[in-house]
Structure formats: C-alpha cells, structure tokens
C-alpha cells in the first residue's frame, strides 16, 4: 500500500529528524542536576513555529518527543511522561505567546515563555505522580532559573538563525532584481 504524502509531510519529517538529532546530541551531555538540560531541540520547534506556523511546530515537537524516547529506550517511562507533559505545555504557551505583537516580542520572548511552560509541565507531573510531596516546591526556583538561562540562549540562537535566513532571502531577491 502506498501512503500519499504531501510536501508538508516531507517538511515536517525533515524538521522532526533534525530536532531528534539535536535531542540525541543533548542526551549524551551530562547534566549537573537531573532535569536541567539546555533543550536545544526546542530551537527547531521555535524556528519552525516562526517560519511555518503553529501546526507544523506542534507536529515537529510531538514527533520529536515520541521518536526520541523510542531511540533512547524511554518510551512510556517516567522520562517520556515528563518530556511529553513539558512539550505539550510549552506548545500551549507558544500558541498563546504567538499572538503577542511581533513588533516588540521576538523569538527570545517565545523561547523563555516556552521554557517556563516546559518546566511547569514537568514539575506538575513530578508533583502529581512521581514525587507526591510538597517538598517539590523547593525545586521550582532552581528549575525556573535554568529555564530562563537556557530559554534566553535558545531564543538568541533562533533569532540569529531567522536573521541569517531573512538576510539570505533578501540578497537572493536583490540579486534576482539586478539580473
């Protein structure tokens, strides 16, 4: 049986593969504190969101969570649940944050807000399921600080990527205009 795929599907698959690769790279980087990770795969989600819209970003993000967990052997494990709850909440946050005026709020804002939503999703999961103890509250400031730091860096990287892309597009346009 042949499944008909569209150009959109191909694009989603290509971008998701890229996000998965970044996720794998990150998985081998040791972390000083369990759960504190740069989340560089989110650069892809963010870039896709700003370039192709929310639906594509949601596909890429969710596909990345499922495929990465399969590759790392974490499918349906607590780590997978944390990853998924974080991804879903940060997508929800991105959906809201997208509607901020673009003149003032760029990729950095989206990235930071998504990072906060990501740790919120994870900590809710931890509190409700993994460590049902009020002591989890002590972790909130640490994770929030990490989210701000890595959210800022990821946002700056995304902004840089978009800037380069737009610059290239403009030079191509102007070259075409000249010739």
Partner 1 sequence: MLIGDWITVIVSAVLIGYLFHTLWSHQHAAKVQIRLGNKIYATYSLNQQRTVHVHGPLGDAEIHIAQGKVRFARSPCRNQYCVHQGWLSHTGQVAICLPNQVSLELIGEKKPYDSLNY
Interface residue list for partner 1 (CB under 8 A) = 100-101, 103-106, 108-109, 112-113, 116, 135, 137-138, 140-141, 144-145, 148, 152, 155-156, 159
Closest to partner 1 by CB, 30 vs 138, is 138
Shortest spacing between CB 117 and partner 1, in angstroms: 12
Shortest spacing between CB 50 and partner 1, in angstroms: 13
Closest to partner 1 by CB, 83 vs 111, is 111
d(CA 53, CA 123): 28
The token duo for 2 is 């042949």
d(CA 34, CA 46): 24
Shortest spacing between CB 98 and partner 1, in angstroms: 13
Closest to partner 1 by CB, 32 vs 135, is 135
User: 19-24: long-range contacts at Cβ-Cβ below 8 A with a sequence spacing of 24 or more?
Assistant: 19/44, 19/45, 19/60, 19/61, 19/63, 19/64, 20/63, 20/64, 20/67, 20/68, 20/71, 23/64, 23/68, 24/68, 24/71, 24/72
Shortest spacing between CB 60 and partner 1, in angstroms: 23
């Amino acid at each position: 049986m042949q499944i008909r795929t569209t150009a959109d599907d191909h694009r989603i698959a290509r971008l998701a593969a890229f996000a998965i690769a970044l996720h794998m790279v990150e998985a081998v980087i040791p972390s000083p504190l369990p759960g504190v990770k740069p989340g560089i795969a989110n650069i892809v989600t963010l870039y896709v969101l700003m370039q192709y819209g929310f639906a594509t970003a949601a596909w890429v993000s969710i596909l990345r969570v499922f495929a990465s967990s399969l590759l790392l052997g974490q499918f349906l494990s607590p780590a997978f649940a944390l990853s998924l709850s974080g991804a879903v909440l940060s997508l929800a946050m991105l959906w809201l944050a997208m509607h901020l005026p673009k003149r003032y709020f760029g990729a950095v804002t989206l990235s930071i807000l998504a990072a906060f939503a990501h740790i919120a999703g994870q900590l809710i999961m931890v509190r409700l399921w993994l460590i049902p103890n009020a002591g989890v509250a002590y972790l909130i400031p640490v994770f929030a600080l990490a989210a701000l730091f890595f959210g800022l860096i990821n946002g700056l990287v995304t902004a840089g990527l978009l800037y380069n892309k737009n610059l290239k597009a403009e030079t191509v346009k102007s070259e075409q205009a000249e010739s």
